[in-house]
């Protein structure tokens, strides 16, 4: 256990799920609540533990997660999360009991846990501490996930999806098609359902904190609130409400900012497939030649290990370097938020994880959407069909389609129109900071926690 700071009176215990897309919003929420005078303790698993050195104001406590080396190396996110939830209840309770025993530390006001980490909730009940859920995902994904679980429980959804069904619309979920449902490709639908039924369940939580802006997802949020007994506090994008230090699990290569500084306004396409997606060698080849042939400058994050069978960029095709010269910059991990707000960045080719989607929308950057699994497919469909700030790649990764999509986004009138709509969304989000729903939700959350 590591202690980082002296605490004040009211301590909030935060329990993020151990993945980048979940750690970021939880620590951003922590930064906001710290700015409101709360003391923040982050309880995390050994697996993918966040780096405390960037968060001197927080206390970080690590609990054993009981994961085996085999489970970790499998990369099976569903299996890992199910195991963590099965293994961690006792160690979490011990950890909190110890915290409460220590002098002047019997003051845990509330536990805020990620929706995928549901083991803290019974512990909170045992210790008589109120709890809140953070949903770091879109409200629309929640609705799609509920529909998927319903269809699955009735035996209406075969897995894997047959081609004959994949393009059909899901009843009452326009514009989603069956292929857009947030199905996992990592595990069986049974295990996925087991995890998600628990994640969807509100149980005894006092409220739901949602990392989404009301102005983007009003109708989905209203629909959910009608069926939810506790308040829903939509307060996204969290990365904009408080200045939080980086919570990257990988080291950010900031040298690409100097490269971006040399590029002209809106000229660069930023390419990143997030912290989990991986591609085959042939996809790498197609991506590389698609980007090169588009003749647009690009900044490409290739995460170590994200190309199957390769450590990093050793499998990049021969002749690529000569073909792109100074027009391409490749890094292992980037300061993404800074990049998206850079004047030179005019487009984002993304896997459409919710954080990346929000980060792009809040900077008015239009997107090329290539989802892999889970919620990414819902977001890609909404970006292209509802918010109309994205262009979805529907087929296998192929150089010709990539070249055309990049040109469409960066050069053609269609891309310019998407940029205009993206900037309108950015303005709406900025407006919600000054007044309106976001402001209300932030106050409601602070008032609620103070009332405990």
Q: How many residues does the chain have?
A: 452
Does 80 sit near ligand UDP (CB under 6 A)? no
**Of the candidates 79, 290, 297, 353, which one interacts with ligand UDP according to CB under 6 A?**
353
**Tokens linked to 447:** 């008032």
The 292-321 site mask, x for binding ligand UDP (CB under 6 A), equals ---------x--------------------
CB of 354 to ligand UDP, least distance (A): 5
Nearest to 132 by CA among 144, 120, 140, 147: 120
**Of the candidates 115, 359, 363, 403, which one interacts with ligand UDP according to CB under 6 A?**
359
**Of the candidates 337, 342, 379, 419, which one interacts with ligand UDP according to CB under 6 A?**
337
Nearest to 216 by CA among 27, 26, 360: 360
**DSSP 8-class letter at 40:** E
Does 422 sit near ligand UDP (CB under 6 A)? no
**Tokens linked to 378:** 């819902």
User: How far apart are the C-alpha atoms of 51 and 368, rounded to whole Å?
Assistant: 31
Listing DSSP states for 350-412 in one string gives E---HHHHHHHHTTT--EEE---STTHHHHHHHHHHTS--EEE--SS--HHHHHHHHHHHHTS
In degrees and rounded to multiples of 5, residue 63 shows phi and psi of -115, 145
User: How far apart are the C-alpha atoms of 215 and 71, rounded to whole Å?
Assistant: 40
User: Which residue's CB is nearer to ligand UDP, number 39 or number 137?
Assistant: 137
Torsion angle, alpha carbons of 434, 440, 442, 443, to 10: 110
CB of 248 to ligand UDP, least distance (A): 5
Does 274 sit near ligand UDP (CB under 6 A)? yes
Could you tell me which stretch among 123-131, 166-174, 204-212, 333-341 binds ligand UDP (CB under 6 A)?
A: 333-341
CA distances from 351 to 57, 275, 356, 362 (A): 32, 10, 8, 17
Does 138 sit near ligand UDP (CB under 6 A)? no
CB of 245 to ligand UDP, least distance (A): 12
User: Which residue's CB is nearer to ligand UDP, number 130 or number 353?
Assistant: 353
Find tokens 């406590």 and name the residue. Answer: 61
**Of the candidates 355, 362, 384, 389, which one interacts with ligand UDP according to CB under 6 A?**
355
Does 20 sit near ligand UDP (CB under 6 A)? yes
CB 44 within 8 A of CB 62: yes
User: Which residue's CB is nearer to ligand UDP, number 130 or number 347?
Assistant: 347
CB of 373 to ligand UDP, least distance (A): 9
Does 141 sit near ligand UDP (CB under 6 A)? no
Size of site (CB under 6 A) for ligand UDP: 19
**Of the candidates 16, 18, 21, 79, which one interacts with ligand UDP according to CB under 6 A?**
21
**Of the candidates 39, 41, 336, 441, which one interacts with ligand UDP according to CB under 6 A?**
336
Find tokens 């994205």 and name the residue. Answer: 390
**Of the candidates 62, 131, 138, 275, which one interacts with ligand UDP according to CB under 6 A?**
275
Per DSSP, helices labelled H in 158-213 are: 163-166, 189-200
Does 356 sit near ligand UDP (CB under 6 A)? yes
CB of 301 to ligand UDP, least distance (A): 4
User: How far apart are the C-alpha atoms of 388 and 417, rounded to whole Å?
Assistant: 9
Interacting residues with ligand UDP (CB under 6 A): 19-21, 24, 248, 272, 274-276, 301, 333-334, 336-337, 353-356, 359
């Amino acid at each position: 256990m590591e202690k980082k700071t002296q605490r004040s009176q009211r301590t909030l215990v935060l329990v993020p799920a151990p993945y980048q897309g979940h750690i970021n919003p939880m620590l951003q929420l922590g930064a906001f609540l710290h700015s409101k005078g709360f003391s923040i303790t982050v309880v995390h698993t050994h697996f993918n533990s966040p780096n405390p050195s960037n968060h001197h104001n927080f206390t970080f406590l690590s609990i054993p997660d009981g994961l085996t080396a085999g489970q970790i190396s499998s990369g099976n996110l569903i299996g890992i999360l199910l195991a963590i939830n099965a293994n961690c209840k006792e160690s979490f309770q011990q950890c909190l009991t110890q915290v409460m025993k220590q002098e002047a530390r019997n003051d845990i006001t509330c536990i805020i846990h990620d929706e995928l980490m549901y083991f803290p909730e019974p512990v909170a009940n045992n210790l008589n501490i109120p709890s809140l859920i953070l949903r770091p995902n879109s409200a629309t994904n929640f609705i799609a996930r509920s529909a998927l679980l319903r269809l699955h429980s009735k035996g209406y959804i075969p897995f894997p999806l047959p081609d004959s069904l994949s393009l059909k619309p899901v009843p009452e979920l326009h514009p989603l098609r069956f292929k857009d449902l947030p199905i996992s490709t990592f595990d069986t639908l049974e295990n996925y359902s087991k995890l998600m039924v628990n994640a969807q369940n509100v149980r005894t939580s006092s409220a739901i904190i949602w990392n989404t802006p009301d102005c983007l997802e009003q109708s989905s949020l209203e629909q959910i609130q009608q069926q939810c007994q506790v308040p829903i506090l939509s307060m996204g994008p969290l990365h904009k409400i408080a200045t939080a230090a980086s919570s990257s699990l990988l080291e950010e290569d900031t040298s690409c900012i100097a490269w971006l500084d040399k590029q002209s306004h809106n000229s660069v396409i930023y390419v990143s497939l997030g912290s989990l997606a991986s591609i085959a060698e042939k996809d790498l080849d197609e991506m590389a030649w698609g980007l090169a042939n588009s003749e647009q400058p690009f900044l490409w994050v290739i995460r170590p290990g994200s190309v199957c069978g390769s450590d990093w960029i050793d499998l990049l095709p021969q002749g690529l370097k000569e073909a792109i010269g100074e027009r391409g910059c490749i890094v292992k991990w980037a300061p993404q938020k800074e990049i998206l707000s850079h004047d030179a960045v005019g487009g984002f080719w993304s896997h459409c994880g919710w954080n990346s989607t929000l980060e792009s929308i809040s900077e008015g950057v239009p997107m090329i959407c290539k989802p892999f699994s889970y919620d990414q497919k819902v977001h890609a469909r909404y970006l292209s069909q509802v918010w109309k700030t994205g262009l979805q790649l529907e087929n296998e990764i192929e150089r010709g389609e990539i070249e055309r999509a990049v040109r469409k986004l960066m050069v053609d009138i269609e891309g310019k129109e998407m940029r205009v709509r993206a900037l309108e969304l950015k303005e709406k989000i900025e407006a919600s900071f000054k007044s309106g729903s976001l402001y209300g939700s932030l106050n409601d959350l602070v008032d609620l926690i103070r009332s405990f």
